Structures are given as structure tokens and as C-alpha cells.
Structure 1
Amino acid sequence: MHYVSAEGLTKSFGITPLFSNITFHINEGDKIGLIARNGVGKSTMLRILTGKETADKGKLWINKDVTVALFEQEPGFKEDKNVLENIFDAGNPVMNVIRQYEAATESGDADALGEVFVKMDELGAWDFEAKVQQILAKLNITYLQSKVGDLSGGQRKRVALAKTLIDIGFDHKHTLLLMDEPTNHLDVEMIEWLEHYLNGENVTLLLVTHDRYFLDAVCDEIWELERENMYTYKGDYENYMEKKAARLESENASIDKAKNTYRKELEWMRKQPKARTTKSKSRQDNFYEVESKAKQKIEDAQVQLQMKMSRLGGKIIEAKKVYKSYGEKPILKGFDYTFSKGERIGVIGKNGVGKSTFLNILQGLEPADSGKINVGDTIVFGNFSQQGLVIKDNLRVIEYVKTFAESFPLAKGGSLSAAQFLELFLFPPEKQYTYLTALSGGEKKRLQLLTILFRNPNFLILDEPTNDLDLPTLAVLESFLTDFQGCVMIVSHDRYFMDRLVDHLFVFEGDGEVRDFPGNYTQYRLWQKEQEKKGLSTLLAAPAKAAEPVVSAAQPETVAKKKPSFKEKREFDELQADIAKLEAEREKIGEQMSEAGLAFEQMSKLSARASEITTLLEEKEMRWLELSELI
């Protein structure tokens, strides 16, 4: 069944064009990922499809039997109503009786339950109620009687998601579901459940997300808005990256060819006498077409991150027997750890277990109940918090940056003015005089990152840094953090981001227990599933012996180890050498792939070898970790 057709859609804000003359079609069962830089028009496109905004030009046709459902980044609610009243549409008898059932269940009113049981039977609402219970449970919505106006940002987002899923679940026979960053404010287990839910439901989906694993798990086609055009790619994110590289290479070759033709045609045009009227009209027209193409510029503007890191001394941070609780809820129970230079630590756990509190305690922003946090004299924290920009006055962008410093020292010497530094972060001169309140969510995140790096930190703490950042900016941030010589601690639900950057994890398992896991997030999930199969510890409940608090890396092991054999010692040494060689080869391939004018065939070979190296490194590093436990 054909759902949507768009022909020649054009939309601008003022003089800024978002997209121009784009055409696309959506059929039943399509699952499409829409990606673009911040400010290019992703959210605007979704709002046009729902009728909340209109295009400047073009035609949009939506099948009359199709219902369009939109999950927005900033959901709208009836603030004075409770969660139940916002989720369930009182105008629908089945939804209304389920709302009454949920309210009676929560209150424990036996008389009300008896009455609503009869209504549920009469309307045959039990099957749908089971689906409702699953959605509410998986999204951890237990505050059904709370007013929406009193909820946190994450709770509001989960309520909006539950409402959307329940609405389409009730009658999704012909529903086009539009989702704008649905994974923000969800923990990893919720994201994984949402992946399975969307794959299991027969929905037609157009999705905006920065979560690359989620994109690959849910979508089988990618649309990209770039330079006012829309480009379509079948397949996953990796295929999109390869096809895009090939497209850009082809476009650049086409422009180079047009430049050569333009030079010849320009010479011909100049030789023609002004009074001559028999000049070839078709050749003249063709000249202007060639000129237009020759003067095209394919700009791949990217945030550029360079900084002169503050000197890092020998002492980093020592945490000794740290305890922290909120009322009867323990956050840390005897946390003990000594941080080392260049450590990259991921922090994971369910929402509400105290990850952000832990980061605040490390920085001295919040006191511990007992224990000590000794911070080295040279440590300069860079705190990318979920709170976002702290705006006291509605300043212009350039004024705000100058409140931190007038200039910025570079890693290779010299310095940049505040205005020049802003341009590196994709804030052109005209944007620098925009008021902070007028910036988009992604632009505010970019500006927040800029102000943190402006202070030259050597210990970066990133609390959900990927929310609202576009994929190109994320890729640059990942590259920067890979080369960053200081310490990095990351709290994120973006599994792809974590896998690329962290060496080990602090896993907040609840009840104040923190596990130090030697590996990235994917490795942890594989290990966790193995433990579950064996009937051992899980993230929610672990045996007391397995859930001991993190101990300092400097402390001796208390568990007797098997003595390594000579063969194992030799293998360990060989693995270290092999890993170093593979990392050097990967770095060299990265440099080759960044060279201009590289042929597509050569690019494909290098890309394939880079993928092989990544697989080999993962295997060797896992074996190295096993042997390092013995040696």
C-alpha cells in the first residue's frame, strides 16, 4: 500500500533554505532513518508530514486511510492533568476503561476494580491491556497519578513515548509513525527493548536518530538531507558511509570535468564579436549551465576540535572508601579507586542509580557522606553535564563565549580569538550574534562543548554528550576524544559511542554496588548474557561476592590466581607487540583514507583492511585481557 508521495518540496526559514525541490515516496512496511546536520530541517520535515507546518512549494499526498503519528523531541501535554489522563484518550471507550483499570489497580480500590473488570470483559480490552502493561513496565512508568507538570525531562519523554506506542498499538493497521530522537533519556535496556518492539510491530516508520546501533537495528533505508537535496541509500549505516564517499568522489570528479570544459567555453565566448547575432544560441545556453556546475563547491563543513591540554601531573584522583546515600537509597558503598593517566572509563547503569551524583562527587560539586576524594593539583575538569548551558542573561553567542576568555590557545602554538574559535564550531559570523535562546538544541550542545574546551581541561567528564548532537559532529567528537591525552569519563546510553572510546566500565548495579568491568559496552552485554545463561549474577541482582565495590587498581589482588605458564607469558608478550603493530597500521590507513583524490577502488581496499584490523584487534585485546588476569 502506498502511504506518502512528495514532489518538489521546498522549505526555507527567512533567506536560509532547508531543502529544495525534493521528491520521495513511503510505502507500507518501510522503515527509514532520516539523518542530517543540526539545523538542516529534519524536524521540520516531520512536522510537514503531520500537517503542523507547510512547505513553501511542492505537492504532498498522504493516503486518506493512513494515520500519521508523531513523537516529538519536545512533547506537548496537558500540564495540569496526571500521567494516566495524558496517556489515555478518554474519547475512546476501550482506552477509557483501561485508564480506569490502571487507576483502580494503583489505588487498590476493590469496588472500583470489580466494576471495571466487568467493563473490560464487555469491551474485550484484556489483550490490549496486556500490551499497555508491557509498555509501561519496560519504560519504568510507575507514577501514573503524578501531574505531568511535576515530572523531570526524562520522565516526560518516556510518558510521551508510551502514549505514542499505546496509540499506534491500539490501531496501527495503517499508521505512519514519525519519531524524532526517541532514544534520548532512555537507558540502554529500554533502547534495546524499543528496538525489538518496533521490529516486532507491523509499523511503517520514518525515524530521526543519532544512535547508530538503533538505526541499524530498526531501519533498512537511510535518507540524508544535505546541501538542500535528499539522497537515498538502501542498507545499514556502514553501507551509507561507503555509498556517500563514492557519491562525493563522483560529484567532485564531475565538477573537475566541468571546470575544464568551462575554461574552453569561456575562451570561445570571449572571442565572439559583440555585434554578432548568429552565435550558436544552444552553445551559449550550455555555457551558462557548465559555468554553474564548474563553480559548485561541495563543502563538508565539520566542527574542528583542537586544544592545548593543561599539564597533567602524576597524581590524578584517589577515591577512598566513599559512601553516599539519599535517604535509605544507597548510591555508593565504600567506593575505592585510584585513577591513572589517560584512562577512558564508561559509566553505565539504570536511570536513577546515581551515575550523575557520582560524577558530581568526583568534582567536589556534591559532598560524600563519608570517605575521601583526593584530586591532584594539576587536574582541570571539563564537565559536559546534562544540565546544558547555564544562561543567566539572554546574551548573544559571541558575548557568552567572551565571558570565559577573549582568546583560545592552540595545541600547536598560537591562539584564536573567540570569534575564530566559534567559526571552527560551525558558528559563522552572522550566527555569532544570535541570542542564546534562539539556538536549536543541537547548537546549544555544540556551544556547551566549545565553552568546556575553552578552559583547556585535562579530565573530561561527559554526561550524555550525544543527546541532540548530529552524526557528523558526533564523528568529529569521537575522533577528538580518541586522540585526547587526558582522562575521559563518559556516561552515555549511546552504545556505539561507548564502544569506540572506553577501555573499561563502572557498572552501577544498584544498592550502592559498582562493578569494574574490563571492556566496552558490547563486551559487557555479551558477558552479562553468558552469566544469565549460567544462572549467575545479572545487572539487577548480583551475588554479594561478585558485586564487591570497585577496588583501587593499586591494591594487590586478594583472590589466589592460577600461575601463568611459560607459554602463556610468551603469548602475552607477543600479543602486546601484535596489538601495537595493528594499531600503527590502522592509524596509517586512517591517514591514507583522509588524503584528497584517493581512487574509490583504493578507498574500498583500505576500508576493508581497516575492518579486518578492527576485528583482529578485538580478538587479540580480549585474549590479552584474559592473560593479563593471570600475569
Structure 2
Amino acid sequence: MNYLSVESIGKSYNEKLLFENLTFGLSAGQKAALVGVNGCGKSTLLKIVAGAEKADSGVVAFRKGVKVAYLAQNPEFDDELTVMQTVFADDNDMLRAIRDYEMALKRVENGEDAHEALQKAMEKVDSLNAWDYETQVKQILGRLGIQMFEQKIGSLSGGQRKRVAIAKALIEKPDFLILDEPTNHLDLATIEWLESYLADSQMSLLLVTHDRYFLERVTTEIFEMHQGKIFTYQGSYSQFLEQKAERHEQEAAEVDKAKNLMRKELDWIRRQPKARGTKAKYRIEAFEDLKEKASKDLSEQQVQLSVKTTRLGGNILELKDVSKSYDGQYYVKDFTYLFKKKDRVGIIGKNGVGKSTFLNMITGALAPDAGEVNKGLNTVFGYYTQEENTFKEDQRVIEIVKEVAEVIDMADGSKLTAGQLLTLFKFPPETQYGFVGKLSGGERRRLQLLRVLMQNPNFLILDEPTNDLDLVTLNILEDFLFNFGGCLIIVSHDRYFMDRLIEHSFVFEGDGVISDFPGNYTDYREAEKEKAKLEAQRKEEEKKKAEPKAKSNRGGDQKRKLSYKEQREYEALETEIDELETRKAELVDLMNGGGSHEELAAWAKEVQEIEEALEVKTDRWLELAEYV
């Protein structure tokens, strides 16, 4: 069943063509991602599909009855509304009933005489069978870390606002969900939960994200925007990379063939007498088509990072018993570490545990309450902050670069002017002399990165460097950092980025405790899972040890036997569980073998229903098995 049809849409800004004649569609259950370089129009396309912006041409149509939700990259809310008012502000009977019930309950808990309102609200929830829906809503809010329902939106941080926006979009239970950079500003645990939630859901998705693990595990289709056109790839992100490489090879061969033919045709045209009127008109027209094909630009927008770095000295950076607290709450406590050459450290921890405070103390922007931070004489910090630099909107791009230096030394010993360096970073002359206000979010981040690297640092601190950068730029940045000869500290929610570049991790556990874990992010997560598994086993063993004692205290009661009806139920459950497991295996085989989007969606839904039934029946079987 087709949910979305996009037909021949086009869009331009300030005489710059973003795209034209884009045509694509999505069916029920499809999960597609838009990828492409910064400034190609990904966010604009999402806004057009969501109805937040109009296309210059073409048509966007959703199937009648399909409910659509949109998560903008930077959500905008009424700052005077509370979190609860914002999350439940939707024209939905169930949401309204739950909201009224929660508000009435809160009034009663506060001592108000609102029992009649509470009774009416409960009856409304009952009539809509919304109690299970309320549980789902609370689960979503809890997993996103939203607890302060009465806090005003205006007092929230960017990350908290993003969580509220995600909660609102998910709670609406849409058929079709549009997401623009959903992982920005989220901590790693929340990203993993969201990833799992979306992968298991039956919703259709159209999203933009630079998180490659997220793309790999959630999407079933990739739409690549390149030079104003769209290319469709079936499968996950890794399959997209394989198919894209094959397409580039094929296109390169076609362009080479066209160039060879064009040389022959050009020679033919030049040899024709100018006065002859019988020259084959169709051949001349074919030559023009051939010329266009031969001149096709196959280049990718890339950033070459090869700036010179200052040589590190023997003493780099030492932290001795460093502590920092606010209002009695420790964010760093008695932390000691001596940085070594080529140290590559990742920082892991939930939002608000003190990661930015720690980085600010390292760079000297913030003084510790206790302890020492000793920086080596030759240590030059390059600090790429999470917050975007406050460039003036009416300032020209080249002026921002010249504020740091007019000329910069490169790693190969050459020198580049500010304009040449900007060109290297894919800012063409017309953009260099344009105003910052016309840059996209990703272009601004790239400009910010350029300013940091121009300082020739040997100790790089990158706080969320991947936000808003396109995948091509990310790959080039990773290559540069992989070969970077200085020290490196990374705070990032991009798990792939962390896994590739860091060798050990500072884990912020809360209350100022920071532990040094010997491995990257995936190593840490696997260790945590194993730790949780062992803890669960320990609790289960303690429970089993306690059970005989509890039974012995019941005065030596004999073990209860199953009734005839329970025995029949027990035997029937064994058969039903086997049949469900068999059906589930059949469905999984069908899904692995492929099928239409409608079939895949139906099979996935049936698997989910079987898993829910298996959980209920297995619990009942285990309960009865105790008395067999």
C-alpha cells in the first residue's frame, strides 16, 4: 500500500538550484533515509514532504487517512507551555483523556477537591480502553528521560527540547514519521533505545541522520541526493555503499566511452565542409547529447584535511586530584590522569553528568575547586565546541577565516591563503564572499572546524563534532583524525565515529566518579551487558536460595497438585507454544527471502503478535510447571 508519492518537485533558494524533478514514493512499513552532502537540500526536502515548506514545482501527496508526524532538526515550541502541555497538545481523543486524567490525579494528590473530575476522567479513559495506551505513553516518556512534566519549555536545554519533540512525535502514533537528525543532542543510551523502537515499529519512516549505526539498523532503503537528483538504493547502509560504488564504476565507464565517441564525432564535424547543407542534422544533435554525457561531473564533495600540527613536548597535560561541584553536586571528584603522546580518549556518560565541565577545566576555561591542571609548554589546544559559533549573519565567510590567519601552513610544507583554504574545504569563491546567513547548518559546522584546525593544534578536543556534518565530510574527518599525531579527546553520540577513533574511555558514572575503561564504545557496551547479565544471574540464584526457606516456614505444606483442568491447560500450552515457534520461524524465513512491502509489513506485524502471545503463554506454562 502506497503511503507517499512525490512527483517532479523542485526547489531553489537565492537563485541556487537545490533539486528539480525529484520523484519517489514510500509504502507502508518502508523505512528510508536521505543522504547527501551538506547544502544539497535534505532538510528542505523533508520540510516540503512534511508540509512545513512549499516546493517551487511538483506535487507531494499522502494516501488519504495516513497520519503523519514531523520532527524538525530544531523543534520550535511555545516557551510558556509546560512539558506536559506540549507533549499532549494533539487532537487525539486518547491523549486528551490521559491528559485530563493525569491533571485531575495531580490535583487530588495536591489536596484539591477534584475527586469528581478524577472520576469522570477515569470513566473516559475506560470508555476508550486507553489504560494500555497510557502505559505506552509513560514508557516512551520514561525511556526518553522526561520526568519534569510541569517544567516550562523555555527553561529546557537544546537536548531536553529534542527529547520532548521526539516524545510528542512517537506518542502521536503516526503511520508515517518524518525525522530530521533525530539523534542530535541525545545520549548514547537514548539513541540505542530509539533505534530499537523504530526498527521494531510498523511505522513508515523518512529520515535524515549521519549516524551510520542508526542507518544500518533502522533503514531498509536509501535515497541519495546528488547534484540535484535522487538515486534509490534498496537495503541497509552497508548495502547502499556497495551499490553506490558499483554505480560510480558503471557511470565512469559510460563517461569514458562517451568521451571516446565524442572525439570521433568532433573530428567528423570538423572535417565537414562549412558550405555543405547535407550534413546529417540528427548526427549533430546526437553529438550535443554525447557532449553532455561526456562532461558529466562524477566528483564527490570532499574535505581534504592536512593542516600542520605543532610538535608535542615531553609534558602534555596532567590532572591531579581535580574536583568540581555546583550546589553540593559533584561533577568531577578527585580525578587524576597523565596524558601520553597520541592518547585517544572517548568520553562516555549521560547528559548532565559533567562532560562539558570536565573539558572546560582541561582547556583552562574553568578553574577546578580543588586539585591541579598542568598544561605542557608546547601543548596547543584545538577545541571544537558543541555549541555553534556565533558568527554574525551579515559577516562574509572569508572574513571569518581571516580573523584567525591570512595564510596557513599545511602538513606538506606549503602555504595557503584564506581563500585557497576555503576552496579546499569546498567553499567556492561565490560562497566565500557571500554572507554567513546563507550557509546551511552543516556548512557552518565545517567553517567552525576549519577555524579550529587553522590554529595548528596538537591536542584536539572535539565536543559533538559530527552534528550536522554530511557522511562524506565525516569519512574524511575520520581519516584525518585516524592519522592525527597529537592527543585526541572525543565526546560524541556517533558510535561508529567513537569506535573507529578511540582506544580507551573516560566513563562518567555520576556523582563526580570517572573511571578509565580500556576500550572503545562498543567494547564498553558489551562489558556493561555482560555485567548486567551476571547481576541478573546473581539475583536469580539468591532468589532460588531463599525459596526453600520460605516453603519450610509454611509448616511443611505438601506441594499442590494440578487440577484436571489445569493439567489439560498445561498440555495444551506445550502444543500451542510449539506451533507458535514453528510459525514464527516460517515468517522469519519468508522475510529473509524478500517480498513486497505489503507482505513484509504483514509478516513483521504477525511476528510481533506471536512474540507477545509466546510471552504470555510461556509465563503461564512456567507457572503451571512448578506443580507438575
Q: How far, CA to CA, are the matches of 1:27 and 1:139 in structure 2?
A: 28
Distance 2:119 2:215 in 1: 41
Alignment correspondent of 1:116: 118
Which residue of structure 1 lines up, in the alignment, with residue 277 of structure 2?
Answer: 277
* 1:342-491 correspondence to structure 2 within 5 Å: 342-391=342-391, 394-491=394-491
Normalised to the residue count of structure 1, the TM-score between the two structures is: 0.82
| Aligned-residue offset at 1:81 | 1.5
1:149 corresponds to 2:154 = yes
**How far 1:290 moved relative to its partner?**
0.8
The alignment status of 1:165 with 2:170, answered yes or no, reads yes
CA contact (8 A) 2:393 2:435 kept: no
The amino acid of 1:417's aligned partner reads T
* Whole-angstrom distance in 1 between the partners of 2:120 and 2:200: 31
Could you tell me how far 1:63 is from its partner in structure 2?
1.2
1:187-222: CA deviation from partner (whole Å, max 9, x where unpaired)? 011011101211232100011100000111111111
Determine the structure 1 residue equivalent to 2:517: 517
Give matches, 1:327-342, under 5 Å: 327-342=327-342
- Contact persistence 1:531–1:537 (CA under 8 A): no
Question: In 1, Cα distance between the equivalents of 2:427 and 2:106?
Answer: 50
Contact 1:345 1:489 in 2 (8 A): yes
Deviations 1:489-509 (A, max 9, x none): 001111000000000000001
Shift of 1:109: 2.5
Larger mean CA deviation between 294-303 and 96-105 belongs to 96-105
Per mean C-alpha deviation after superposition, the further-off stretch among 240-249 and 378-387 is 240-249
**1:547 is matched with which residue?**
none
1:180 is matched by which residue type in structure 2? D
Residues 1:11 and 2:17 are matched in the alignment: no
Deviation at residue 393 of structure 1 after TM alignment:
7.7
Q: Which amino acid aligns with 1:143?
A: M
SS of match in other structure, 1:532? helix
| Gap change, CA 1:387 and 1:6, over 3 Å in 2 | closer
Corresponding residue SS for 2:172: helix
| Whole-angstrom distance in 2 between the partners of 1:470 and 1:6 | 24
In the alignment, is the contact (CA less than 8 A) between 1:4 and 1:63 conserved in 2? yes
Quick check: 2:104–2:117 contact (8 Å CA) kept in 1? no
User: Quick one: which amino acid aligns to residue 122 of structure 1?
Assistant: K
- Cα separation, 1, equivalents of 2:530 and 2:469: 34
Q: Bigger relative contact order, structure 1 or 2, given CA contacts below 8 A and separation 6+?
A: 2
What is residue 625 of structure 1 aligned with on the other side? none
- CA 1:258 to 1:483, structure 2 compared with 1: closer, same or farther past 3 Å? same
8 Å CA contact 1:120, 1:126 repeated in 2: no
Answering whether residue 290 of structure 2 is matched by residue 296 of structure 1, we say: no
Contact 1:223–1:233 (Cα < 8 Å) also in 2: yes
Aligned partner of residue 534 in structure 1, secondary structure? helix
Aligned pair in 2 of structure 1 residues 360, 267: CA closer, same or farther (>3 Å)?
same
Question: Which shows bigger deviation, 342-351 or 401-410?
Answer: 401-410
Q: Secondary structure at the match of 2:285?
A: helix
| CA distance 1:143–1:215, change in 2 (3 Å) | same
Among all aligned residue pairs of Structure 1 and Structure 2, give the percentage whose two residues are the same amino acid: 51
CA drift of 1:133 comes to 0.7
How many angstroms apart in 2 are the aligned matches of 1:45 and 1:131?
A: 31
Larger radius of gyration: 2
Q: How much has 1:293 moved relative to structure 2?
A: 1.0
User: Could you say if the C-alpha distance between residues 366 and 102 of structure 1 is closer, same or farther in structure 2, counting changes exceeding 3 Å?
Assistant: farther
Name the SS for the 1:247 alignment partner. Answer: helix
Is the contact made by 2:329 and 2:511 (CA closer than 8 Å) also made in structure 1?
yes
SS in 2 for 1:430: helix
Q: Distance in 1 between matches of 2:379 and 2:105?
A: 53
Q: Rate the CA distance shift 1:354–1:106 in 2: closer, same or farther, 3 A.
A: farther
- 1:90 Cα offset (Å): 6.2
Displacement of 1:113:
6.7
Contact 1:303 1:425 survives alignment (8 Å): yes
Does 1:224 pair with 2:229? no
Which segments of 5 or more consecutive residues in structure 1 lack a partner in the other structure?
Answer: 539-631
1:125-152 superposed Cα distances (whole Å, 9 cap, x missing partner): 2111111111111111122212212221
Q: Distance in 1 between matches of 2:141 and 2:63?
A: 31
Cα pair 2:505 2:518 within 8 Å, conserved: yes
> Partner residue of 2:598?
none
* Structure 2 CA distance for aligned equivalents of residues 136 and 165 of structure 1: 10
Preserved CA contact (<8 Å) 2:461 2:489: yes
Q: Which residue of 2 aligns with 1:604?
A: none
Could you tell me how far 1:160 is from its partner in structure 2? Answer: 0.9
- Match of residue 96 from structure 2: 96
Q: Is 1:37–1:471's contact at 8 Å kept on the other side of the alignment?
A: yes
Change (3 A) 1:450 1:276: same
Number of positions where the alignment pairs a residue of Structure 1 with one of Structure 2: 533
Q: CA deviation at 1:471?
A: 0.7
Cα distance in 2 for residues equivalent to 1:236 and 1:294:
31
Contact 2:5 2:24 in 1 (8 A): yes
Per-residue deviation, 1:533:
0.7
Which residue of structure 2 aligns with residue 77 of structure 1? 77
Give the aligned partner of residue 134 of structure 2: 129
| Contact 1:407–1:416 (8 Å) recurs in 2 | yes
Shift of the 536–509 alpha-carbon distance from structure 1 to 2, 3 Å rule, reads farther
TM-score, structure 2 length as denominator?
Answer: 0.82
Letter in 1 for 2:400: Y
Aligned to 1:42: 42
In 2, the alpha carbon distance for the partners of 1:24 and 1:186 equals 30
2:161 partner letter: R
